[in-house]
Structure 1
């Protein structure tokens, strides 16, 4: 009867009129508009709250969300009204939205008492839905339902709104898993390095006591740190797909029983090679452990079972919900026409607020709507993010600089870590920052911390937030409906929009799509008016279904694919290479991967036979191939055979332990020839270009600080009058002579950081890791020498600094700790045995050293 009653309410014209009126009053208040609507009279307010109470009793997410939206829309104007207090508490209790109840308590301590029956129901929920091993955390209804289902399943896939707290569910489940007997290792696979850092810090902070109790250590690299009590040590690995593949390729690494795939929708990213890498990492994990517990988490997906289907698991073990603990208000503000639209379910409210009519630029809007709160401003590229942040800084230039001691400390740290002229240090003075993937992790951490503490008001960001970085805000301004040069996919847009509203800090958030000119936000209705469910198809299967002829063409050694972008060609080459490798595995171990099984299921045996025929005789071992499936099988085989021939003289093929510029240059040139970079890597156009990367490699691997690297590069560019690209003129790259200006220095800094993060720590690391795996297979691990891939990843050859980074410290902090507090480290030979935490803390306190990162990770 309740469901029928709730359905009747949603169709009731009186209810619709009241709900629309509440929305208009909220919009007028948000945009500081002259109110065209008269406020509610007492009867209308009471009736709307009664409707909300009826809807909150439903099990239907649409009805429950509507009940919550009514409470949030009315809160601004009616939070002191006794009737509102009673009904808001009652509705939120029925919804099981305890964070919202806590917010209202903090906002108004005189929150109303509940009716007896509802109070009993609330207390029962608080008891049953308490998060295990915590003092005051309580699951919302949907969180508790999901947690219960996961806890009773070996395989599971779930999706929900971004604000639902999927990572919170995973961490809560880990609390339960670490108590298992016998204890088992856990892997959390995340799409990017940025998420590795965030997830590992959260685990160490939020689960510190329980992890120490059960002797678990959080590890963020494929190299397992040695421990004095190694036989008793258990691990939670937080890894990217690339690092998971590397981990799986090492025979002596401990096995794991649980694999959580966070941001699983990335498996369906059709223009990203990482989707193929993620697929490959999961596939190989299942190959090595037939009894693996496997879980997928994704946002806003209507068919989460598709990931279970992909890996041949029970598709019924899935959960999806649209219920959200934070409501969101969606606006489209058109600066070119001085108009705005509020999207309200299937309705649209068109209005012309004075804020928009009087604004001369988007910065007027950002300032007006974003004052006294925190705001994310999405930009489609790194260059746009920095440019818009600079313009916002200029807009605020007449305002007084920040007084916050915390912000001033971060400014000093950034100038010392990066460069005294780095834009970000200046921008923070006015509460403005930028945030993107290749920003050094230690700097991203500081920006995120300042933002979460509301020490800064505006962060201009790129698609890093789409990767799952947890940085919610009251307002999310979206300046472009593109991710790079590609139009937003619905899943990406709604994932970004889901950052609006901070659970426990406010009841709702605002999404403001801001059209600055006619070059951006073309056809916004495609995204904003489309309320259909988001259904995904994993990209690997999608490409096999739709582009198998072109994959066959590549297997036939015909690389001339017509009608595809370079990105799609790269993905197709990657899949073709995986088919070649997986075909080989049938012969070697009778293992049939998911791709092979799909080809057999689709009656495409001829593709398997073609791959087998084209492979010919392959000598490279499977342990080598598993380190990276993106390097062509034939090239890996040729390199392996060439190295095998020199087995009798290992000194000629082993990587030198001592690294200098000439050594780096020599080995880059050797790998250029061995792996055929002139055809395989578009980043390396010639051998001459490698000399620059040799210089950068030498500095990076020898532990030279980023500040020194940048300062030396600035001096080099100035002395040698080098040119540097500063944007475009008439559609063509513009290369003026470097003049030492702040603009030129910041462009150079951006280039250096990009080269370190992408070329050194991703591209070159991939090849050196593959090369080292071959040496291990040929010479044995005892005689294989050093692995430069490790030096490239950690930015040092110092084993102690590497060990400190494995605790979660940044390269900068680990190096600082080693150089200045060596007496607090217990070292035996070249191994870090332990850290004297008490002594370290006393020394840091005594010397009044700014040690925020060390404090948050080690103490």
Structure 2
């Protein structure tokens, strides 16, 4: 052990340092939570204490120990608010942050003042030269550079880091490295967990990747326009789109980058099996796999799942943004800060005996003068808390806000609650918002035009939206309590790299609702410990009789547990289909080998499936969420119902009824919180949506059609606590609930669940009759149109509403041959586009085409 490491070891266990940390945390916490306490000696550091803290920070930053380095940075962040103008502080901060390689924070801490100390200047020159990111003005932090250099040596790699670590930045930098080193010869995929992230990642890549040979695409179709020009591609796919791409005749993929890889490990997320299946297909095609995940200590687990060397992994615990943890309990009336060394620091606070008043006070006082994210878990709470808070604020007159308000009025509905909030500089944000609106909210928040966002767990999906403070009102996602990965992935949004040295995590108990920090002694352990346990996968642990239950699923037997959730049932069924597929194509996988090992009759069960199966393997590969027995029954039918030639309400209803019967939706899709079809009655409503969506109707028209359908048919709508009420078109609560339902149903029912069944049924028809279908209802559902030009425009990267507008008014800017766009006259479009008539659309085109 070196002399410095000896000093660091002593410092970390030094009681004096612990006391100093406790004191500066107390000062910081009191100033944040209760700024009305006047300064006194207890709330002020002595000159010696201040000097000693700086000295400790200087010693700790020289260590290789991540705990010491994080504590060194934490000291600087705690001192910053009070001492930022002090020259001595700036000198020490510059030295510490340069040694940590934290250049984004260096500019903040030194107030952009140049520190002319030889050691600091030399360190900065060396690191900025060696750790410069490829084709970028940015410099890697020490930890980022370590990951980047390791990746360059490996064919597969897995790493983890804190939420603010910059995992996407490392992926982008490595992609630039690949392009430079391999002469732009490779096609690349970035895999994201949900469609919500596709556009965010795609737009960022368009700005970062300057090589003109590369096109950024997000659909599993390579447009003829790009094929003929010998382009290379970076695809941004969900697992479903990757599966579609890999099971068709498409250009070869060389590298695959998996962001938010921890989604693979979930035991009750119905998308986890699809994630696993997509990556096993990629592995079979010898694609190099690179994984990034938040905070997981045993990041090699992702390599184990796919049979790769576990040595090619790295877990980073060093953070570029410090975080302060608080708990404000408005029920039991106590407020505490959790010290770095585990103690609770009590802070005086003002309580109001009302959840709305308590929350509003907290945002105004704790969140004063900065941007805040308020996590509420449920959509109902998110909207209600946002409405109540914004009702106390004056109007915020801003042209960008007004433009967004007008867009929502015209593209959604004039009574949508989001309008009330936006007028005050407040927004709510959840997966059920239209992507176009959600992205504009994110942009206005980043530009500090929107001050506060109330949200659900959308931020856990990887949406890059940090803030100075994050208020966490619930310790659950839906009905499931946070895992440690969930909590720290959400809490990690507190603090913005390049803007803040630190962020504040404020867990608040404002009500006695379920899963709202109701058992602080137990619920707060996840906050206090600041550690994430080793992750596991049921594919390796056999947790909950996983493999026996897969066997039971395949044999149509009862599961080993009576109380099994609908999501768990669907997960087991999907893994059963994937397992059957692996056996049919005679491929090895950890799923298959462990199934045979754990079940005495495992191989017999699989052999029986092979004998009874007549579905081609390429269809099975695309349909792992559908039981194989239904696919075989359909193929065995004497006569199949053909897909309709015309898209009408009656044609949609006919198709939905056929799917309901063929795939036994009454049994397979009627359970859980948000079933596809609780009963057959819902199909007439789906037919309304389906007909409008496929016939290219805008969202506002689809919403009006749904309101009319609910009103004329006397349908019930489920409100808070799932109590049904007869729909009333004059009730604003009812209308808003239906609007949210319609958006959810288009994205999750039409474009996902129904589309999957239609795709499978179409493929089975083509197999049975050995013919290519003329009417591609699967594409109709995915793209929301039957128009081949609008579909082609979406494949080129234009969203549905822009593609529809371009087809209607600007088709002469594209050359069409047959049903395909083969050329694009971009300059003509730029010169002819009516930016006065379509100002928002012009802004979107500017971003997409980088005008």
Question: Structure 2-normalised TM-score?
Answer: 0.94
Out of 396, 405, 425, which is 1:402 matched to?
Answer: 396
Residue 306 of structure 1 deviates from its aligned partner by 0.9
> Aligned pair in 2 of structure 1 residues 532, 500: CA closer, same or farther (>3 Å)?
closer
> Aligned pair in 2 of structure 1 residues 736, 690: CA closer, same or farther (>3 Å)?
closer
The aligned counterpart of 2:657 is: 669
2:526 counterpart of 1:530:
no
Out of 738, 744, 766, which is 2:734 matched to?
Answer: 744
Q: Secondary structure at the residue paired with 1:256?
A: coil
Q: Deviations over 1:24-64 (max 9, x none)?
A: 11112212141462422322212211111111111111111
Residue 712 of structure 1 deviates from its aligned partner by 2.7
Residue 546 of structure 1 deviates from its aligned partner by 3.2
| Counterpart-to-counterpart distance in 2, 1:409 and 1:691 | 36
The aligned counterpart of 2:485 is: 491
Residue 679 of structure 1 deviates from its aligned partner by 1.8
Residue 352 of structure 1 deviates from its aligned partner by 3.6
Out of 818, 823, 834, which is 2:812 matched to?
Answer: 823
Q: Secondary structure at the residue paired with 1:459?
A: strand
CA contact (8 A) 1:583 1:596 kept: yes
| Counterpart-to-counterpart distance in 2, 1:768 and 1:351 | 59
Q: Secondary structure at the residue paired with 2:511?
A: coil
| Counterpart-to-counterpart distance in 2, 1:94 and 1:281 | 42
2:539 counterpart of 1:540:
yes
The aligned counterpart of 1:160 is: 161
Q: Secondary structure at the residue paired with 1:511?
A: strand
Out of 234, 242, 249, which is 2:232 matched to?
Answer: 234
Unaligned runs of 5+ in 1: 647-651
The aligned counterpart of 2:673 is: none
2:216 counterpart of 1:218:
yes
Between stretches 702-711 and 27-36, larger displacement belongs to 27-36
| Counterpart-to-counterpart distance in 2, 1:38 and 1:767 | 64
CA contact (8 A) 1:724 1:738 kept: no
2:263 counterpart of 1:258:
no
Residue 462 of structure 1 deviates from its aligned partner by 0.9
Equivalences for 1:300-319 in 2 at 5 Å? 300-319=295-314
2:504 counterpart of 1:516:
no
Q: Deviations over 1:626-656 (max 9, x none)?
A: 00212111111122233xx55xxxxx75534
Q: Deviations over 1:715-764 (max 9, x none)?
A: 44445554433324xxx613144141322211111111111111101110
Out of 678, 697, 705, which is 2:666 matched to?
Answer: 678
> Aligned pair in 2 of structure 1 residues 609, 358: CA closer, same or farther (>3 Å)?
closer
Residue 598 of structure 1 deviates from its aligned partner by 2.6
> Aligned pair in 2 of structure 1 residues 47, 336: CA closer, same or farther (>3 Å)?
same
| Counterpart-to-counterpart distance in 2, 1:40 and 1:361 | 31
> Aligned pair in 2 of structure 1 residues 268, 830: CA closer, same or farther (>3 Å)?
same
Q: Secondary structure at the residue paired with 1:446?
A: helix
> Aligned pair in 2 of structure 1 residues 187, 628: CA closer, same or farther (>3 Å)?
same
> Aligned pair in 2 of structure 1 residues 319, 218: CA closer, same or farther (>3 Å)?
same
The aligned counterpart of 1:416 is: 410
CA contact (8 A) 2:164 2:320 kept: yes
> Aligned pair in 2 of structure 1 residues 357, 701: CA closer, same or farther (>3 Å)?
closer
Residue 603 of structure 1 deviates from its aligned partner by 5.8
| Counterpart-to-counterpart distance in 2, 1:354 and 1:485 | 30
Q: Deviations over 1:470-524 (max 9, x none)?
A: 1111111100001001111110000000001111111111110010123320232
Out of 319, 328, 333, which is 1:333 matched to?
Answer: 328
Out of 836, 839, 846, which is 1:855 matched to?
Answer: 846
| Counterpart-to-counterpart distance in 2, 1:114 and 1:778 | 78
> Aligned pair in 2 of structure 1 residues 358, 273: CA closer, same or farther (>3 Å)?
closer
Q: Deviations over 1:80-104 (max 9, x none)?
A: 1110010011111110001011234
| Counterpart-to-counterpart distance in 1, 2:9 and 2:324 | 23
Q: Deviations over 1:657-707 (max 9, x none)?
A: 431112111211222222222222112233342122112101100100110
| Counterpart-to-counterpart distance in 1, 2:823 and 2:448 | 36
Q: Secondary structure at the residue paired with 1:159?
A: strand
The aligned counterpart of 1:649 is: none
Between stretches 513-522 and 36-45, larger displacement belongs to 36-45
Equivalences for 1:417-816 in 2 at 5 Å? 417-519=411-513, 520-523=516-519, 524-543=523-542, 546-559=545-558, 562-586=562-586, 591-600=587-596, 602=597, 604=599, 606-642=601-637, 654-682=642-670, 683-719=676-712, 721-728=714-721, 733-778=723-768, 783-816=772-805
The aligned counterpart of 2:144 is: 143
Out of 818, 833, 839, which is 2:828 matched to?
Answer: 839
| Counterpart-to-counterpart distance in 2, 1:786 and 1:187 | 29
> Aligned pair in 2 of structure 1 residues 500, 182: CA closer, same or farther (>3 Å)?
closer
Between stretches 75-84 and 804-813, larger displacement belongs to 804-813
Q: Secondary structure at the residue paired with 1:361?
A: helix
> Aligned pair in 2 of structure 1 residues 640, 234: CA closer, same or farther (>3 Å)?
farther
| Counterpart-to-counterpart distance in 1, 2:737 and 2:701 | 16
Between stretches 166-175 and 814-823, larger displacement belongs to 814-823
Out of 112, 116, 119, which is 1:117 matched to?
Answer: 119
Unaligned runs of 5+ in 2: 671-675
Q: Deviations over 1:65-115 (max 9, x none)?
A: 11111111111110111100100111111100010112345xx34x24142
| Counterpart-to-counterpart distance in 2, 1:358 and 1:686 | 43
Q: Secondary structure at the residue paired with 1:178?
A: helix
Q: Deviations over 1:579-623 (max 9, x none)?
A: 22322222xxxx2233112335x3646212223225532111001
CA contact (8 A) 1:300 1:534 kept: no
Between stretches 377-386 and 304-313, larger displacement belongs to 377-386
The aligned counterpart of 1:97 is: 102
> Aligned pair in 2 of structure 1 residues 551, 721: CA closer, same or farther (>3 Å)?
closer
Out of 289, 297, 309, which is 1:294 matched to?
Answer: 289
Q: Deviations over 1:285-327 (max 9, x none)?
A: 111x13x211111000010011111111110110111101111
CA contact (8 A) 1:197 1:808 kept: no
> Aligned pair in 2 of structure 1 residues 841, 16: CA closer, same or farther (>3 Å)?
same
Out of 275, 278, 281, which is 1:278 matched to?
Answer: 275
CA contact (8 A) 2:80 2:109 kept: no
Q: Secondary structure at the residue paired with 1:455?
A: coil
> Aligned pair in 2 of structure 1 residues 639, 746: CA closer, same or farther (>3 Å)?
same
CA contact (8 A) 1:82 1:112 kept: no
CA contact (8 A) 1:6 1:55 kept: yes
> Aligned pair in 2 of structure 1 residues 281, 23: CA closer, same or farther (>3 Å)?
same
Q: Secondary structure at the residue paired with 2:271?
A: helix
| Counterpart-to-counterpart distance in 1, 2:82 and 2:741 | 50
| Counterpart-to-counterpart distance in 2, 1:544 and 1:327 | 35
